[in-house]
Amino acid sequence: MRAWQLEEIGGTPQLNDVEPPRPGPTEVQIDIAACGLNFADLLTIKGQYQEKPPLPLTLGMEFAGVVRAVGSELTGLSVGARVGTFSGGGGLAEVACVPADRCVPLPDAMSFPDAAAFQIAYGTSHVALRHRANLQPGETVLVLGAAGGVGLTAVEIAHRMGARVIACARGVEKLDIARRAGADEVIDSETPDLKAALKAMGGVDVVYDAVGDPLFSAALRACRPGARVLVIGFAAGQVPQIPANYLLVKNITVHGLYWGGYLAFDPKVLTESMTELFDWYAEGKLRPHISHTLPLEKADVGLELLRSRKSTGKVVITP
């Protein structure tokens, strides 16, 4: 089979011909139909992601397809089942093996590309806004990087939860995409005095930040008393340094959110979240925005789209 593999940290992924993996006793073998790309794939290539799997590594953290074979100790999943999985790797290939407990059955109406674009982005935003920030109807949410892979889902979910959504992104095209996803107001990330502009809009109760500094610092200073700040990632490359005295004076709470980390210490949070999200999808309330769909041999082009910020929503690879 073909697989995009990273053989050394900082190297260039290569499309190799390799033997298909065989499932262990508690694993399933999946014919991959679609794989969603994530900013974390770029961090993995550079050796900057939280988890560092052994090399060589087949890239691709979330994907969807059809069960081809099951391990000897499994009874829950059967050959032919349509599943999605967050495996942490293996998706940029034609076949993968993953633990069965990482697989979720797909709603009948969900396409494979939608499934590959769904889990990490929607899961991250839903757990962040509902479980961590306890977002309430009528509150104001500021989403930084609002046209990106997770940012756009935060706009959708916050809107679905009854919040007033301010979307912050760069350029008219990206702001228009965020508005169509449910943003009530939009603001360009290159606004000269972002803090003052946000305060003029009434301030914010919840900040959803997948970008980092300098936008983080401006958003923090536009927070209302009692606000909650969600630290999702640092796509801009600058990790913000948070002044603790400012948190104290305005009673602000900062929540870190690493969605995949819940698999190790509280997987029930993810299970319950994904159940609600799949229900919303089945009801037509959520639809992933996929800006680019590319064949497997062009996965490197897809990664460059993420790196150069030329994509919106998700990039999906279809083996």
What's the pLDDT at 240?
A: 93
Residue 305 lies in a domain: yes
User: Residue 133's domain is classified under what CATH number?
Assistant: 3.40.50.720
Whether residues 76 and 180 fall in one domain: no
Across the beta sheet with 164-169, the strand order is: 185-188, 164-169, 140-144, 204-209, 223-231, 253-256
What's the pLDDT at 52?
A: 86
Give the residue among 211, 215, 217, 224 at the shortest CA–CA distance from 253. Answer: 224
Instruction: Report the number of distinct structural domains present in the chain.
Output: 2
Whether residues 114 and 141 fall in one domain: no
Whether residues 156 and 44 fall in one domain: no
Whether residues 125 and 211 fall in one domain: yes
User: Residue 89's domain is classified under what CATH number?
Assistant: 3.90.180.10
What's the pLDDT at 267?
A: 85
Residue 12 is part of which domain span? 2-118+288-318
Whether residues 89 and 132 fall in one domain: no
pLDDT digits (tens, 9 = 90+) for 172-221: 999 999 999 999 999 999 999 999 999 999 999 999 999 999 999 999 99
Whether residues 131 and 252 fall in one domain: yes
Whether residues 172 and 230 fall in one domain: yes
Whether residues 146 and 226 fall in one domain: yes
pLDDT digits (tens, 9 = 90+) for 52-85: 889 999 999 999 999 999 999 988 889 999 999 9
Whether residues 196 and 139 fall in one domain: yes
CB neighbours of residue 179 within 10 Å: 17
| pTM of the full structure | 0.88
